[in-house]
Chains A and B, each alone.
Chain A
Amino acid sequence: MITAEITHLFFQQYWWLLVSLLGALLAFLLFVQGGQTLIYTIGKTETERKMIVNTLGRKWEFTFTTLVTFGGALFAAFPLFYATSFGGAYWLWIVLLLAFTLQAVSYEFRSKAANVFGKKFYEILLFINGLVGTVIIGTVVGTFFNGADFSLNMLNNVTWHNETRGLETLLNWHSVSLGLSVFFLARILGALYFILTIQDENIFRRSKKQILINLIPFLICFLSFLTYLMIKEGFAVDANGTIFMEKYKYLHNLLDMPIVLASLLIGIIGVLWGVLKTLFGKNNYEKGFWFVAPGTVLTVFSLFAIAGLNNTSFYPSIADLQSSLTIQNSSSSLFTLKIMSYVSLFIPVMLALAIISWRAINKHKITEDEMNEKNGKSY
């Protein structure tokens, strides 16, 4: 029995790490969303905007698929979270889903003849997706540390205790500060991606300016989020599965798991290094994206890790503390987790294929000439 429990815990942790990895990859891929909010800020002419939309348009499906896979993995590995959060925080998720629904068609329809609503309409949809998508995803992750307003009955059916069904989270400054951090970071990543992939002096110059402009609010939001996270009480769980409040819980988690601490610090340094080198480096440094992107992955990965590992409740209930979800009480059965773990071996294969495809498409920078070519697909 004990062995089965330990094995089960092993797989629960393994799956939490995978979910963390997917969440972290998603955060980095949100550069597409961030970029979408800069189309008009950076693109001043029709051709510039076309270049921006096209460089993002070649990657939007990666972000989208990662989001879908992230949701699927959560459902398969932690179905009680899926049931509780999606059914409970109804409006929060619906708004997020709608934001992504609008995105999916916008690239394809934007420049097509007879698209009914006009080019500008689809660009507005892209902006909405970029703003709402990033802020809400970040805010939802914020609830991992601040809790949500639900309780569960004997059959694990969810009751939500706030009529706004999740929107109340938008009033929690700490969760929202993470949401805004994601938004500003996504914009920085978006601008860095333009610098990386578009051959155009004006876009380069304006992107650089936008990085600086977004860096300041990003730092304010992220540092206040992180500082408060380190000093706040956290939702801990004891060996019997009882939830209790522990002072400095998330700081303790970092200190208890030095690898996670290292990952967080390296991540933050990576982000700052990439940004500063782009801003102040010599010879028009263009590859800052490749520091900020992995930096983002490491940072977000660490945040997920301290939310769910080391006897922590990753989806705490503020309405009924004992209804809080941990990776143990919300996970799939050992059997299902094992099956899914075989499936997870495909993740590196898919990542490798994604890298091959990414490189094949990004071999050359996007140029004005390419946009004006009649031969080939463009948005």
Chain B
Amino acid sequence: MTQLLLNIDPVLIDWSRAQFALTAMFHWIFVPITLGILFIIAIMETVYVKTGNPEWKRITKFWMKLFAINFAIGVATGIILEFEFGTNWSNYSWFVGDIFGAPLAIEGIMAFFMETIFIAVMFFGWNKVSKKFHLTATWLTALGANLSALWILVANAWMQYPAGMQFNPDTARNEMVDFWEVLFSPVAVNKFLHTVTSGYTLAALFVIGVSSYFLLRKRETLLAKRSIVIASVFGFISVMALIFTGHGSAVQVAEHQPMKLAAMEGLYEGGQEAELIGFAILNPNKEVDNDEKPYLFKVGFKGVLSFLIDFDTKTYVPGIADLVYGDEQNQILPTEERMRKGKIAMNALIAYKEFKEQGNEEEAKLQYDILMDNYKHFGYSYVKDPRDIVPHVPTVFYSFHIMVIFGTMFVLVFLIFAWLTITNKIENFKFGKLLYIIGLACIPMAFIASEAGWVVAEVGRQPWVVQDLMTVDAGVTNISSGAVQTTFWIFAFIFTGLLIAEVSIMLKFIKDGPAKPENEGGK
């Protein structure tokens, strides 16, 4: 039995997590552009087909080529992510594969295939198929890419909030009992909408940034202005939806992952009228078990956090300490108690299996009931110290605030660019140069905000690979940490090399600009 309560090398966990984070963060450099720019391209091509104006075709082709450079490397990192669940998180893959595998397969069968099929037409079909067929292919590629995102985000949401399943002790895994509950879980819906709209926002800022470069250089101004009109309107709508769904996501986090919310806000002692932190500097000496002040400096708004959760400033929000040590008044079990219940569940599972093997159905049934009564604490059987359920607070806190601050700024950026291009004042704008530089600076800022969002989501839920049911220690593949360390560096080396090549190609392509009109669409 001791074999089941695995004694996993903590170094292995760290490297396995680092490797997944590395792959995911590299992948996420390329995916958000893909998600958004495809719609922007599709809108541009629609204008071309409607007006027949070759300038719009030229604009469409220019952005399509930038998309193509970006797409290839997104795919390259994506395949590693898909298989990394198996190679590095094999125990996890079995424990939840019955639920988690389905969205991944559906992604392949329905979404990724669709994207691939129509991308071929989009890239190579300009002179081979009719204009309308080509336009349809472009829209369907955009749809396919976004459907891909849907399924993988459904899978991710399930890890944050396991729904629609039941544990089966015979197979020692969770099994799906309700597909719709998995697909339409409020966490999944919010996560999907929040993530894709973040992609749209980023892509819009990318288009605005590149166009700003042309304006700064006083080249391709027509292309730049037309691109900005479409991107800024598209971006404004997206960022508003982004903020709205961000709020929805936070409400879900409050409900299902209160520890993550507490870490996002650096909230150690909870209570009613909880404060929303606008910005703060955390006290680096603060731990859950000492009396240090949590912040060295802060700008907070009392009661606003409570209000945002359910529109009532009196709503109780638990802090990190409450979740670790419990709060009887608000019915929060101490983590130690949950660890005890988790161990009861684990022992019942082991006993169940033994009785089953002996053919003692009656005793097995008894153990089954004990297991099920305590199953929601199952993952706590792997927790060694109650303080281990606290994620790295500074990482989560700062990432969250950077994301929110940048996101809010983008609203203003879109409004200004939209206003100035729609009224055709952007070229003669008094502070034009400054504005174009801001436009350019928004590209890296958008990437930082976007990656920060994932850091909040994923670091914030540590140590859980499946919320409350499985810790990262229990989900990891049993392999030498040296092997994972080696692959980490191989991946880091290759991804960095590919990224350098990609950025270099993109910069050169942008610098050269789109093909000249007389040489329409060529390269």
Contact = CB atoms under 8 A, between A and B. Distances in A.
Interface stretch (A58-66, A178-186, A199-207, A219-227): A58-66
A76 B102 contact: yes
A186 to B, nearest CB: 19
Contact of A114 (B126, B176, B508): B508
Interface string A99-118: 01111110111001111110
A101 B80 contact: yes
Contacts of B7: none
A105 B504 CA distance: 14
A360 B119 CA distance: 12
Given A83-B97, A85-B86, A105 B72 contact: yes
A156 interface: yes
B31 to A, nearest CB: 14
Contacts of B490: 94, 98
A363 interface: yes
B366 interface: no
Contacts of B88: 87
Interface in A331-361: 332-333, 335-336, 339-340, 343-344, 346-347, 350, 353-354, 357-358, 360-361
Given A104-B73, A115-B504, A376-B522, A343 B79 contact: no
Interface stretch (A42-50, A157-165, A209-217, A235-243): A157-165
Interface in B162-190: 168, 171-173, 175-177, 179
B299 interface: no
A71 interface: yes
A67 interface: yes
Contacts, number: 281
B112 interface: yes
B101 interface: yes
B486 to A, nearest CB: 9
B4 A108 contact: no
Contact of B101 (A62, A65, A77, A87): A77
Interface residues of A, number: 80
B361 interface: no
A84 interface: yes
B110 interface: yes
B93 interface: yes
B500 A116 contact: yes
B325 to A, nearest CB: 31
Interface string B89-120: 11101100111111011111110111011111
A258 B87 CA distance: 37
A108 to B, nearest CB: 4
Nearest to B172: A155
A154 B121 contact: no
Contacts of B394: none
B150 to A, nearest CB: 13
B523 interface: yes
B501 A346 contact: no
B72 to A, nearest CB: 4
Contacts of B77: 101
A364 B394 CA distance: 59
B412 interface: no
Interface in B101-148: 101-102, 104-110, 112-114, 116-121, 123-129, 133, 137
A101 B494 contact: yes
B324 interface: no
Contacts of A333: 98, 168, 171, 175-176
A152 to B, nearest CB: 9
A273 interface: no
A29 to B, nearest CB: 11
B283 interface: no
Interface string B485-523: 001001000100110111011011100100100011111
A76 B114 contact: no
Contacts of B500: 116
17 contacts: A69-B105, A72-B104, A72-B108, A75-B104, A76-B104, A82-B85, A86-B90, A87-B91, A90-B479, A97-B80, A109-B72, A158-B477, A165-B479, A340-B102, A343-B106, A361-B124, A377-B65
Given A87-B86, A332-B175, 19 more contacts: A61-B75, A73-B105, A79-B97, A79-B101, A82-B93, A83-B90, A86-B90, A87-B91, A94-B490, A107-B72, A113-B508, A156-B172, A157-B478, A160-B479, A332-B97, A343-B110, A361-B125, A361-B128, A376-B521
Top 3 A-B pairs ranked by shortest CB distance? Answer: A87-B90, A79-B97, A86-B86
Interface of A: 58-59, 61-62, 64-65, 67-73, 75-77, 79-80, 82-88, 90-91, 93-94, 97-98, 100-105, 107-109, 112-117, 153-160, 163, 165, 332-333, 335-336, 339-340, 343-344, 346-347, 350, 353-354, 357-358, 360-361, 363-364, 373-377
